[in-house]
Amino acid sequence: MKPNERMKTIKLIRRIIAWGIFVLLIVSFHKPDAFHWVIKYLPKIQFGQSLAGFFSRGSMTAVLTFLTLSVLAVILGRFFCGFLCPLGAFMDFAFFVRSKIKKRPFSFSTGRPHWLIFPSLLLISFWVGYPFPFGQLEPYSLFVSGHAFLLLVMLLAIFAGRAFCAYLCPTGLALRLLAGQSLLGFKLDPATCLNCGACQKACPAFCLNVRDKSLDRGRCLVCLECATVCPNGSLRYGLASPATPNPGRRRFLRLAGAGAMAAGAYLTGENLRARTFAQPDSQPIMPPGALSLAHLNAHCTLCHTCIAVCPNGAIQPSHSGTPILTAKPFLDPYMGFCQYDCVVCGEACPTGALSPLTVEAKRLTRLGLARFDRPECVVIKNSTSCGACAELCPTGAVRMAPGPSGQDEPTLDTDYCIGCGACQKACPVRPVSAIVVTGLSIQQTAKAPRVVISEDLIPTEDFPF
Amino acid sequence: MDRRSFIKTLLGGAAVLGLGNVIPRGPGAPMALAQGFPDLVAVKGTDVAAMYDRALEAIGGLGRFVGKGQKVLIKPNMGWAVEPKRAANTSPELLAHIIKNAKALGAAKISVFDNTCDNWRSAYGESGLEEAANAAGAEVAPANSERYFQKVTIPGDTKLGETSYHELYLEADVIINVPVLKHHGGAKMTAALKNMMGAIWDRSDLHWGGLDRCIPELMLYKKPTLNIVEAQRVLLTNGPRGHADSKYLAANMLLASTDPVAIDSAAYRIMAESGITEPGYIAHAASIGLGQNDLSRLNVQRLTV
């Protein structure tokens, strides 16, 4: 048996797992009903989402997942990038294309751009008010929602390997910090190495230096490309040597610099962001469990899992001109309304930006308030019977009652309105419904619907005809 | 073309045109009305299956309408994601019983669908109707996307002009219309005529054009073969969905008729005492020839089980 046979088997297992996740995610996003369990749990094991979930503390699952993945990264290295990341699997496909069109090998790089590029992007995004490190760079979000950027990633992968993972990926940067001194990792054995350089040429993360037999575990994606090409079995995965060149002061300064940039960006960006949504008229309707616009903005990674799972197609990515709201998930009642008993989006949200709600709490969660534009109502305008809004209203906030027009017209009692948008969707008036929901920047609790326990009325006559 | 072949062609064409008027329009045209059966059957009781059996026996049995190898559509009301006791949807027990009856008669395909108001998965599930229909051996079909619907022109001078029916509605040989009787905020009352709004795609056309005028028009293209109105527990207020403070009437009745106008007129009599005004669409339906709204002119059979 050749020395690298075993590594080839492990690489095959890695690919099966990563590509399995890749395929399952695509399928479940297109058939959320049939793959409910996939979409409910698979996004939650994504490191970037669990990281956001850890800071939002919106869900215990996210906190536990983050801690587990972090401990595993400290022990095993960046295995997440090789085994669990769907974008990584996507880039594997790109390598197949690369092997057909371009034979230039990879070479070693110091990997410093990561310390500069990503924090700079973070800075810019905070200033602009558009969270693109998450929306368009965090690998899972990019995989599921950044369709335009996927092409760029594909091109980048074809020409520069997993440069994305090494220099741009925010999740990768976090994992790089955790895995830099990981307990286990790949090692190049100087005693048996033939200095052929095959491993270095195969390494898509540029982390392997054959000249001084070193390997940067902070960037190694545990993709096993190096180990499978080594003709002498000199690359082994095991207890890594703790010493790496120049860790101390320089590393600390880099980290401190990146942290200072991020903090500075956050602090200076705050004012800019606050200014961008002082428009109460265009207040979007947040999905249930978002709590407040501030909470949603702080914790949503634009992964669009809620959009995929919403059974009514009510949650849509915002096309708002306001940068911070761009691509955020908001309800569009013209597309669908928020189903009264449905809590699927909160259950599926991997970051806790949407808190999981009980059905009882959901029924009273007020997302917005309906406003009735009586002159536009068909009952008034066309003098016909309608009542589509009252028909759909799950709480009884909109009811039909005799009005000044002499016929039954909609009456609105906003105490009971939960802003689900069913009335707006049902209203036949277009392009703008005669009853429209405006979102609230802080979600409220509506008054519980009236309950009158009444005995069934018994008819007096046996046959009334 | 010589003169003889010209004349032949002419005669042939005339024959085809003539036949066109003889062949009944639409595949679901009811069979020739058998004489001697009541126009409307009303059964009082508490066991819905027994009430159905008694009503069908009186009206000549389901075999009068369903034959071997036919495609049967049973159209309940399952538009709302609420539990059966709220009586906003047809009773699952009744639906299952009808399916079994049609199956026993050798129906080739029995389908059930509704273009729901609530999310269709929730409505099919919560109503208990999907489970009951599947267990009884029917095909429960989705109706949540426009791709299941086909646009047709409604004959005559109509307000709607055209509408899109579910493909299963169009292909069915027999349509059994099984609504639950209940209050309706816009149309005043839901029964046989109103239940057709779940067989089409775009309901907003009807709301825009006026419900009273448009609802009957939905039966002009293709009329259900048989109507069965479930009126066991009748939602009297805040219909069609009903709210936590809704009132109910224990009418304990089931109606059956081939005449949708007659059955709706009788259904309205059940609800009339609760103070609702008579839906305008009943009179309109009678005026466009869909049926008889004067119950005194009909042979009504009243039974109790």
SS3 A186: strand
- Mutation target for A interface from B194, B203, B208, B214: give the one with most A CBs within 10 A: B208
Residue A376 CA to residue A128 CA, distance in Å, equals 39
Considering the domain architecture, whether residues A308 and A169 belong to the same structural domain is answered as no
For residue A303, give its domain range. 280-445
CATH of the domain at A342: 3.30.70.20
pLDDT in tens, A97-119: 888 886 678 888 877 777 777 77
Is residue A59 a part of any domain in this protein? yes
β strands within A262-321, DSSP E? 315-317
Confidence of residue A129 (pLDDT cuts 50, 70, 90): low
CB-CB neighbors (< 8 A) of A386 in chain B: 186, 207, 211
Instruction: Tell me, yes or no, if B7 comes closer than 8 A to chain A by beta carbon.
Output: no
Query: Highest mean pLDDT range out of A55-59, A220-224, A270-274, B178-182?
Result: B178-182
Residue A281 — pLDDT band, cuts 50, 70, 90?
very low
pLDDT of residue A100: 81
A-contacting residues in B 88-107 (Cβ below 8 Å) = none
Pick from A386, A462, A464: CB nearest B186: A386
Do A337 and A386 share a structural domain?
A: yes
Measured between beta carbons, which residues in chain B are less than 8 angstroms from residue A452? 244-245
Which of A341, A457, A465 has its CB closest to that of B269?
A465
In A, what residues contact B, Cβ < 8 A?
33, 311-312, 336, 339-342, 378, 382, 384-388, 390-396, 399-400, 408, 426-430, 449-452, 454, 456-460, 462-465
Residue with the larger pLDDT of the pair B58 and A308? B58
pLDDT on residue A117? 78
DSSP state of B200: B
In this structure, is residue B18 part of a structural domain? no
Residue B202 in any domain: the answer is: yes
Question: Does B274 sit within 8 Å of A456, measured CB to CB?
Answer: no
Check residue A404 and give left, alpha or beta (phi > 0: left; psi -120 to 50: alpha).
alpha
User: Does a structural domain hold residue A462?
Assistant: no
Nearest to B185 among A400, A449, A451 (CB): A400
Helix ranges, A211-247 (H): 225-229
- Note whether A321 and A426 are same-domain residues: yes
Q: How far apart are the C-alpha atoms of B300 and B39, rounded to whole Å?
A: 6
Distance between start and end Cα atoms, chain A: 92
A259 occurs within a structural domain: no
Residues from chain A contacting residue B145 (CB–CB below 8 Å): none
Residues A242 and A294 in one domain: no
Give mean pLDDT, residues A280-291. Answer: 82
List the single residue in B118, B204, B243 with the smallest CB-CB distance to A339.
Answer: B118
Q: What is the pLDDT of residues B260-278, one digit of tens each?
A: 999 999 999 999 988 888 9
For residue A159, the number of C-alpha atoms closer than 13 Å in the C-beta half-sphere is 5
Q: How far is B21 from chain A (nearest CA, A)?
A: 36
Q: Tell me, what's the pLDDT at A99?
A: 80
How many CB atoms are located within 10 Å of the residue B8 CB? 12
Q: Which residues in A lie closer than 8 A to residue B229 (C-beta atoms)?
A: none
In a domain, B5, yes or no: no
**pLDDT tens profile A50-76:** 887 887 666 788 889 999 999 999 999
CB–CB contact A339 B236 (8 Å): no
B109 interfacial to chain A (CB closer than 8 Å): no
Residue B170 distance to chain A (closest CA, Å): 25
Whether residue A422 is predicted with pLDDT greater than 90 in this model: the reply is yes
Tally the domains of chain B: 1
Inter-chain residue contact A451 with B244, CB threshold 8 Å: yes
Residue of A nearest to B119 (CA): A312
Q: Residue A247: is its pLDDT beyond 60?
A: no
Note whether residue A270 is domain-resident: no
Structure token pair of residue A295: 């909470």
In a domain, B137, yes or no: yes
Rounded distance, CA A433 to CA A377, Å? 8
Range in A129-138, A141-150, B177-186, B223-232 the model is least confident about: A129-138
Q: Which residue has the tokens 């949200």?
A: A349
A225 and A292 inside one domain:
no
**Bridge-partner residues for A214, per DSSP?**
A209
Q: Give the whole-angstrom CA distance, residue A220 versus residue A186.
A: 8
Q: Which of residues 136-165 of B touch A (CB under 8 A)?
A: none
The tokens describing A107, both together, are 């070479």
Q: Do A315 and A400 fall within a single domain?
A: yes
CATH code of the domain in which B157 resides: 3.40.50
Decide: helix, strand or coil at residue A285: strand
Burial of A74 (0-12, 13-18, 19+ CB in 10 A): middle
In a domain, A103, yes or no: yes
Asked, for residue A274, whether it belongs to a domain, the answer is no
A296 in a structural domain: yes
Give a yes or no: residue B14 inside a domain: no
At residue B285 the predicted structure's pLDDT band, cuts being 50, 70 and 90, is very high
Residue A101 and residue A243 share a domain: yes
Domain's final residue, options A249, A269, A291:
A249
Beta bridge partner(s), residue B230: B180, B254
The predicted structure's pLDDT at residue B200: 97
pLDDT score for A71: 95
Query: Does B50 touch chain A if contact means CB atoms closer than 8 Å?
Result: no
Interface test with B, best of A36, A385, A429 (most B CBs within 10 A): A385
* pLDDT for position A276: 47
Is the domain of A181 the same as that of A309?
Answer: no
In a domain, A271, yes or no: no
Residue B22 lies in a domain: no
Q: Is the pLDDT of residue A289 over 60?
A: yes
pLDDT winner (highest mean) among A232-236, B21-25, B31-35: A232-236
Shortest CB distance from A385 goes to which of B211, B236, B244?
Answer: B211
Dihedral angle of Cα B218, B220, B225, B228, to the nearest 10 degrees: 40
List of residues 6+ apart from B239 with CB closer than 8 A:
B88, B182, B183, B184, B185, B189, B190, B246
Whether residue B10 is contained in a domain is answered as: no
Tokens of A155: 């091109």
- Give the number of C-alpha atoms closer than 13 A to the C-alpha of residue A199, restricted to the C-beta side: 31
Binary contact (B186, A387; C-beta < 8 A):
yes
pLDDT score of B51 more than 50: yes
Cβ-contact B27, B173 below 8 angstroms: yes
Average pLDDT value for residue range A339-357: 92
Min distance B211 CA to chain A CA atoms (Å): 6
Which of B81, B187, B280 is facing A341, going by the closest CB pair?
B81
A433 and A306: one domain? yes
Please state the domain count of chain A: 2
Q: Please name the amino acid found at residue A365.
A: T
From A14's Cα to the closest Cα of chain B, the distance in A is 37
- Cβ contacts of B160 on chain A, cutoff 8 Å: none
How many CB pairs lie under 8 A apart between chains A and B? Answer: 127
Work out the angle between the directed axes of helices B129-136 and B92-104 (0-180°, nearest 10): 20
Query: pLDDT (tens digit, 9 = 90+) per residue, A307-331?
Result: 989 999 999 988 776 777 778 899 9
Task: Check residue A270 and give its pLDDT.
Answer: 52
What confidence tier does B154 reach under pLDDT thresholds 50, 70, 90?
very high
Residue B45's region, left for phi above 0, alpha for psi from -120 to 50, else beta, is left
Distance from CA of B234 to the nearest CA of A (A): 9
Q: What is the pLDDT of residue A280?
A: 41
Would you call B299 an interface residue with chain A, using a CB distance cutoff of 8 Å?
Answer: no
A28 contact partners, CB below 8 Å, separation of at least 6 = A34, A35, A36, A38, A39, A42, A308
- Host domain of residue B263: 34-304
The residues, any chain, with a CB within 8 Å of residue B105's CB and separated by 6 or more, are B62, B63, B66, B67, B68
Establish if B295 touches chain A: CB-CB under 8 angstroms: yes
A interface test, pick of B80, B190, B204, B299 with most A CB neighbours within 10 Å: B204
A27 and A135 both lie in a single domain: yes
pLDDT score for A269: 54
For residues A218 and A325, membership in a common domain is answered with: no
Whether pLDDT at A132 is above 70: no
Residues A207 and A292 in one domain: no
Residue contact B119–A451, C-beta within 8 A: no
